[in-house]
Amino acid sequence: MAIIMKDLVIIGYGAAGFASLIKANELGIKPILIGEGPIGGTCVNVGCVPSKKMLNIGEVYYKSRKYIKHDIYPPFLDSFKEKDLLISELRKKKYEDVISSSDVEIIEGKAHFISPHEVKVGNQIIEGKKFIIATGSSPKIPKISGLDKVGYWTNNEALSPDRKIDSLAIIGGGPLGLEFAQMYKRLGVDVIVFEALPVLLYGWEPEISLMAEKILRSEGIEVVTNVKVNEIKKGDGKIIVTNKGEVEVDEILVATGRKPNVDLNLENAKVELNENHGIKVDEELRTSNKDIYAAGDVIGGKMLEALAGKQGTIAAENAIMDFHKKIDMLSVPQVVFLQPNIANVGLTESEAEKIYKIKTSKVMMEEIAKANIIGEVEGFIKMVIEEESKRILGVHLVSENGAEIINEAALAIKMKANIDDIIDTIHVFPTMGESFRIAALSFKSDIKKMSCCI
Amino acid sequence: MMKLRMNLRIDKSEIEGKVCENCGKPLTVEDVYARKIGNEIHYFCCSHCADAFERKMK
């Protein structure tokens, strides 16, 4: 049996693992990278990249239908082929080529810890001084009678369907469920969303939950909240039986969240789990074993591509250099790529008012010149500030190109900016990004009584 | 397999909009307020209704 000794062993070759690899190389370390499945992990293969490509295809046709008033829909299966081409290109450019130019030894296979400093992959034992676990997450499947027997899709199958479907029921009204709802509706499929909680996007600002439902309904997507799915049965199609009635559809997509991939015999490494069933880490991403770090979805916190990448970088720096770097979690933005985009960063109003004396302001997008110019006035931007210092604590929005706007809000929160910092920063007119400044200005003035370039 | 459009057998009244948990007023993007009470988030038309609801819960 081969035994390999390494300074750093990275388990997982998705976003977090790759970020760790790149940082390790920058710091002069050649790590071992252990992974299984397609290189690149969830994001490029079955996550952000393919889903945003499919949403983009749907958006192009949706806007075309709206403006030219002609009933055209994307070619169903060919659209997914177009997506596959993009994935192949990006996987090669951003992962395979990066590996080729990196100083790394790759081992393909599933890793299991056999001691606090050793993992086994096949018949190889790899001993490491430090480890970074970045094994990502998988779809979480609820226990519903008949679900396994009748069959269902996860995001994996929904991004590579084996056939054209005409109707889809989505179980789960979180970010993933909402994006797939709009994606499939705009591909010409009838869609219904079931959410067990009282609103979609539970835990987000309530305005956002209401607006998300309004956006879906406006496109003809059925939304049922506060609902319990009791059973799945086989009929001509697949029948979902709930406490509020039933629906029969071609296919069911389960989008009830994701679970961390922690099947690594972590007890042998003395690595503990947290209440989310992810790997328990401190703010420096160190696990309960001081020589093992974790990064990305496997922690079980916010499962975001950009955050996973940053965590991978920080974990590598802390592991190799014994630094004590942390991530400012308050300034981590999150986006649901519906059109218009839904985004947030920082504290919600209810979270903030438990800590600070706060003020909030909400500006509807119809007040923003650019929104009127491009004919996309749906949405709003809400800002939460600390009353005395006027420091920005949270920004929540629904807006065309909102994913671009939220980056500035994240920077403002990270830099502890107050509304005067934003008001005093000249923003380009006319842009959707200007809405961020106008939201800041709305704490001081009645923006309905202002001309364009204030 | 036979292709189905969606066969919905759910009462439309079950999928209507949200209302304030205290006063029953329909919630809108302009007038909505959320508060976590215990382990659950509750939805109201304003903070006054949240206060009243919380008083009733005690």
Q: Is the CB of B4 less than 8 angstroms away from the CB of A166?
A: yes
Residue-wise pLDDT tens digits, A257-297: 999 999 999 999 999 999 999 999 999 999 999 999 999 99
Those residues of chain A that have pLDDT short of 50 are none
Name every chain A residue with its beta carbon within 8 A of the beta carbon of B1: 163, 237, 250
The reported pLDDT for the residue numbered B7 is 82
Interchain proximity B3–A165, CB inside 8 Å = yes
**How distant, in Å, are the alpha carbons of A148, A219, B49 from that of A167?**
19, 14, 40
| The pLDDT of residue B13 is above 80 | no
Name the DSSP class of A356.
S
Q: How far is B17 from chain A (nearest CA, A)?
A: 9
| DSSP symbol at A269 | G
pLDDT at position A5 is 73
Write a three-state SS string for chain B.
CCCCCCEEEECHHHHCCCECCCCCCECCCCCCEEEEECCEEEEECCHHHHHHHHHHHC
Q: Which residues in B lie closer than 8 A to residue A166 (C-beta atoms)?
A: 3-6
Smallest Cα distance from A224 to chain B, Å: 5
Predicted local confidence at residue B1, as pLDDT: 40
**Residue B2: pLDDT over 50:** no
pTM score of the predicted model: 0.95
Cβ of B14 and A244 within 8 Å?
A: yes
Q: Which amino acid makes up residue A432?
A: M
Q: Which of B9, B28, B32 sits opposite A245 (nearest CB)?
A: B9
Q: Going by C-beta distance under 8 Å and a sequence separation of 6 or more, which residues neighbour residue A415?
A: A421
Residues of chain A neighbouring B27 (CB-CB closer than 8 A): 206, 210
pLDDT at res. A41: 81
- Chain A environment of B22 (Cβ under 8 Å): none
Residue B43 · residue B32 · CB < 8 Å: yes
Instruction: Report pLDDT for A351.
Output: 96
Residues of chain B whose beta carbon is less than 8 angstroms from a beta carbon of chain A are 1-11, 14-15, 17-18, 27-30, 32-36, 41, 43
Residue A43 to residues A13, A20, A131, A375, Cα–Cα distance (Å): 11, 16, 22, 32
Q: Which residue of B has its CA nearest to A163?
A: B1
A223 vs B contacts (CB less than 8 Å): 15
Query: Could you write out the three-class secondary structure of A286-351?
Result: ECCCCCEEECHHHHCCCCCHHHHHHHHHHHHHHHHHCCCCCCCHHHCCEEECCCCEEEEEECCHHH
Q: Which residue does chain A place closest to B29, by CA atoms? A: A207
Q: A336, A235, A250, A287: which is closest to A76 by C-alpha?
A: A250
Give the model's pLDDT for residue B14: 63
**Pairwise CB contact (< 8 Å): A167 & B4:** yes
Window A:39-78, CB contacts with B under 8 Å: none
- Check if the beta carbon of residue A40 is closer than 8 Å to that of residue A17: no
Q: Report the mean per-residue pLDDT for chain B.
A: 86
Is the CB of residue A319 less than 8 Å from the CB of residue A310? Answer: no
